[in-house]
Chains A and B, each alone.
Chain A
Amino acid sequence: LSGEQIRGSLLQQLHLSQVPVLDEGDAEGLVTPAHVTAQYVALLQRSHSARSRGK
């Protein structure tokens, strides 16, 4: 698994054709709302327990 593959998969999931140019300042002030964190943690737990079929 390479960085390029991860980037490619992320672009595909977000339906983007290239990496967005983002201002660093905005990123620092950005707060993640609780419901987004909760969604992330739930997905994380599910992915660690789910057994997928793989290749």
Chain B
Amino acid sequence: RFSQKFREVVGRWLASEASTHLLVFSMERRLPPNSELVRAVLRLFQEPVPRAALRRLERLSPHSARARVTVEWLHVREDSSNRTSLVDSRLVSLHDSGWKAFDVTEAVTFWQQLSRPRQPLLLQVTVQTEHLGPPAAGAHKLVRFASQGPAGAGQGEPQLELHTLDLGAYGAQGDCDPEAPGAEAPRCCRREMYIDLQGMKWAENWVLEPPGFLAYECVGACRQPRQPLPFKWPLLGPRQCIASETASLPMIVRVEEGGRPRPQVVSLPNMRVQSCSCSWDGAPVPRKLEP
């Protein structure tokens, strides 16, 4: 309408139907010290939809008896600005009722990375109509979770389940005890391993510093939880002793520039093991909280 240079297309607002709730969980002293969070589950009790309301909706829009429930971790920054991070989302049927489980492990992992004193765990739950458009308008309102609204108390309140593992029993033991009998350490630990660069043919005349370095290695076994995890996590293998933190190795090498040799500094990543830990093979690596 305003320009001769390019075509304009007039759009139309399509009502976006959503209702949002904020859940607050006090987390202090909920996670035992020296424990690993294996999984966190948010359980919401979906109340049955009144038959009459359901029939009315089905008459208006036969295929809209579902709604999308999305759970986001909400972080209130120090400057009071907010940011959210999606952690789980799934469709629920309006014909259904009962406990619904959402995986909020990542939200708790983010919360653990906050600096102390930490705010409570804030979970923003949004319910959206699956099908946009006037006939299904308002369907999201039919999805009600117990303890929504001022009453708050009573059966079926939102629950947060925390599955943790005691690292005292299932974790690594720090550095290996050089006095320990036998070649193989019984429990996952970090063992000294010196790499002699001077003894490597390819490094001759090329690597000027260091002559060698202490790289360490992770050895030993990890104790496996006897009972299976209370949920099916695909592709999860046994707990293994791995390098959970590593450091780079600076070097001075000789390079040729214009036919003349000159020393140059270079840094090789992940060359030295800083710490070992027991970790499930195949477990997702927790996302790091960006500043």
Q: Residues of A at under 8 Å CB distance from B?
A: 1, 3, 6-7, 9-10, 13-14, 19-20, 22-24, 26-27, 30, 32-33, 36-37, 39-40, 43-44, 47-48, 50-55
Contacts and interface: CB of A to CB of B under 8 A. Distances in A.
Of residues B203, B215, B250, B285, which shows the largest number of chain A Cβ atoms within 10 Å of its Cβ? B250
Given A6-B195, A40-B250, A30 B261 contact: yes
Interface of B: 193, 195, 197, 200, 202-209, 215, 217, 242-256, 261-272, 274-275, 285, 288
A54 B202 contact: no
| Centre residue among B195, B205, B208, B242 by max chain A CB count within 10 A | B205
B217 A30 contact: no
A33 B246 contact: no
Given A39-B265, A43-B265, A54 B246 contact: yes
B250 A47 contact: yes
A6 B271 CA distance: 8
Contacts of A39: 265
A26 B253 CA distance: 13
Nearest to B210: A44
Given A22-B205, A54-B245, A36 B264 contact: yes
Contacts of B250: 40, 43-44, 47
B253 A30 contact: no
B246 A10 contact: no
5 contacts: A9-B269, A22-B256, A23-B205, A40-B209, A52-B247
A52 B248 contact: yes
Contacts of B243: 54-55
A40 B204 CA distance: 19
A36 B266 contact: no
Nearest to B266: A13
A31 to B, nearest CB: 8
Most buried by B among A9, A19, A39: A9
A39 B247 CA distance: 17
Contacts of B247: 47-48, 50, 52
B246 A52 contact: yes
Contact of B202 (A3, A40, A43, A53): A3
Nearest to B250: A43
Nearest to A21: B205
A36 B270 contact: no
A7 to B, nearest CB: 5
Contacts of B288: 53
A36 B268 contact: no
A47 B248 contact: yes
Contacts of B245: 51-54
Nearest to B208: A32
A54 B288 CA distance: 12
Contacts of B253: 10, 14
A3 B195 contact: yes
Given A40-B250, A47-B247, A47-B250, A10 B266 contact: yes
